[in-house]
Amino acid sequence: DVGEKFPSHIIIGADTIVALEDKIFGKPQNFEEAKNILKTLSGTRHRVITAVALYRKEDEKLMTDYEVTYVTFKKLSDEEIEEYLKNEDFTDKAGSYAVQKVGDKFVEKIEGSYDNVVGFPTEKVKKMLEDFSSPEFTVEIVDVALPNNWGVGKSDNFIIFVPDGVYGDKVRVKISKRSKNFSFGEIIKIEEFSPFRKEPECPHFGSCGGCIFQNLTYEKQLEIKENYLIQSIKKIGWVNVDNVEIIPIIPSPKKFYYRNKMEFAFGESEGKVVIGLRERSSPFKKYSKDVTPLKECLIFSEKVKKIFSIFTEFANSHSLSAYNPFTHKGFLRHLVLREGKRTSQLMILLVTTDGEIPDLPYLGEEIVKEISELRSFYWIINNQIADVVSFEKKNHLLGKSYIEENIGDMKFKIYPQTFFQPNTDGAEILYNKIVELGEFSGNEKVLGLYCGAGIIEIFISKYVREVAGIDSNPVNIFTAKENCMINGVENCIFYEGTVEKVLKKRDFSEIDIIITDPPRNGMSGKAIRSVIKIGAKKILYVSCNPSTFARDVKIFEENGYKLKKLCSFDFFPHTAHMEILGVIEKVI
């Protein structure tokens, strides 16, 4: 045993395999096996995987990792294969070949480390040796840094961020990145498991970027989110929370299958088109925007399994390519799914770059045959560089142009671009809380900013005298007016335009209460100044971002208003996100 002979030395071990889809090829035993392996690899894009282990006996320290390189072979003739095998020693070669020997004769393209294909990934090993020698600490995870979900540990009052560390874990970490005030630690070993740690429900948890908290008890998730909100109010908003009524965070009625909308991405794996979500980002590696292939999505809908199968089979059988957000090449970009949680109605939006979808009638027939809940199917064309869903051109292919959803005793239409809170059950709780904290007498004139499809405005219309809504998206305004008609609401009016322009153009001096529900980046300074100028007695501020909410509250407090009540809602279980409702009242 090498470790026994050299206990203080670092022992390096490595071995390589070749993989094609679910087939694994090691070192061949004889000529015929080698020939069959090369015939199988001929004309394919396969993986060369090298596993590396570093070990030191004296402290029983072990580190493992692996490197993957993609190799594309040309189409090989039997004569070329036999000629190579007769002249080369293949018995110690994974996949029956040595890349340095076959060269351009066999290889069309190599994606990744060439040294890895040779059998020893030097850059990977170099990085592992650096990490192996990095200082190590045992720390307890005493907090979680949101929205990144980095565990927070301390060593001699020095902060160490530990990605994937669960609150309450005691972990051994190696320092991988260091700055003046903090460092990042990679977990080597969990020495003591947290009492709050739980087994994730989803098989994709860890690699997929959709969830970060499935390995944490739900009660602790709520506690961490609420604390994050309060700390944001203190540190960013400079608010004395002793003077604020903090209403305990309200949990989501459903912990799984709660979202009514998801934007999935197309990607490629093993030369096949897949559908999933972008990988989880990490401070330890460059973000690649790779897609984690999903078979299911526990925060959206059980319908995903069937839908993904239809679209991946269609894409692969018609040789369609997935869009690459770095090279900006490829055809299939996103698959957007919207589901009425209370109506079961489904809308599918297939997003591509310019081009033609072959055999489109067949695709439509397959969807209708397999998905009985389908009510609307669109083909969206998006050529923008940004990795977002943009509606440059809409092609309505099947069914109605909308789906419907119910909130309370009201019915709402949802079009492809309609904004609708992504947690239907949570949204109804929020809207009822707005009514409760708004303390409406029935005589108020209310103004809704960033109103979207007017859901809040229509919902509260029976409790107030008049409601006006402002939104810059013409689709939202159209939908809001239509939803008024559907529900027989006659005391709502909606204005299209930016909040800044509409507030400047129109007189809202008689408004009693303002409800503002801005996007994640919050309200602009100009919009806040216009709201302050109106002088409404109460502002109900709905937000999905504690940082920008706290920033805006600070400005209101500097201009005659005070945050009186604060309530949060867990619209997004197992993620870092939440919804916020703040009651801001005029005191001067």
Active site residues: 544
Could you give the CA distance from residue 357 to residue 332 in angstroms, rounded to a whole number? 10
How far are the Cα atoms of 133, 169, 366, 492 from residue 173, in angstroms, in the given order? 12, 12, 51, 58
Q: Which residues pair with 54 in a beta bridge?
A: 12, 63
Could you give the CA distance from residue 440 to residue 431 in angstroms, rounded to a whole number? 13
| Rg, C-alpha atoms of the chain | 29
* Pairing mode, strands 261-269 and 332-339: antiparallel
Task: Tell me the DSSP string of 369-414.
Answer: HH-TTEEEEEEEE---SSSS---SEEEEEEE-S-EEEEETTEEEEE
Number of H helices, E strands in the chain: 15, 28
Could you give the CA distance from residue 259 to residue 298 in angstroms, rounded to a whole number? 9
Q: Are 368 and 298 in contact (CB under 8 A)?
A: no
Q: Token match 């916020």: residue?
A: 580
Runs of H (alpha helix) within 439-545: 455-460, 474-486, 499-505, 525-534
> What's at 236, amino acid-wise?
I
Task: Kindly state the helix (H) or strand (E) to which residue 498 belongs, with its residue range.
Answer: none
Q: Token match 């960033």: residue?
A: 450
> What's at 371, amino acid-wise?
I
Q: Are 476 and 458 in contact (CB under 8 A)?
A: no
Could you give the CA distance from residue 338 to residue 301 in angstroms, rounded to a whole number? 10
Task: Kindly state the helix (H) or strand (E) to which residue 138 belongs, with its residue range.
Answer: strand 136-140
Could you give the CA distance from residue 511 to residue 495 in angstroms, rounded to a whole number? 15
Q: Which residues does 219 contact at the CB level (< 8 Å), separation at least 6?
A: none
Could you give the CA distance from residue 271 to residue 138 in angstroms, rounded to a whole number? 42
Q: Which residues pair with 267 in a beta bridge?
A: 274
Q: Token match 């994709």: residue?
A: 204
How far are the Cα atoms of 18, 62, 68, 107 from residue 119, in angstroms, in the given order? 11, 21, 11, 16
* Pairing mode, strands 466-471 and 492-496: parallel
Take residue 461 and report the two structure tokens written for it.
Answer: 């219309």
* Pairing mode, strands 492-496 and 158-163: unpaired
User: Taking the CA of residue 259 as centre, how many other CA atoms within 13 Å lie in the half-sphere pointing to its CB?
Assistant: 23
Task: Report which of 81, 79, 111 is spatially closest to residue 95, judged by C-alpha positions.
Answer: 81
Take residue 469 and report the two structure tokens written for it.
Answer: 């809504």
> What's at 185, amino acid-wise?
G
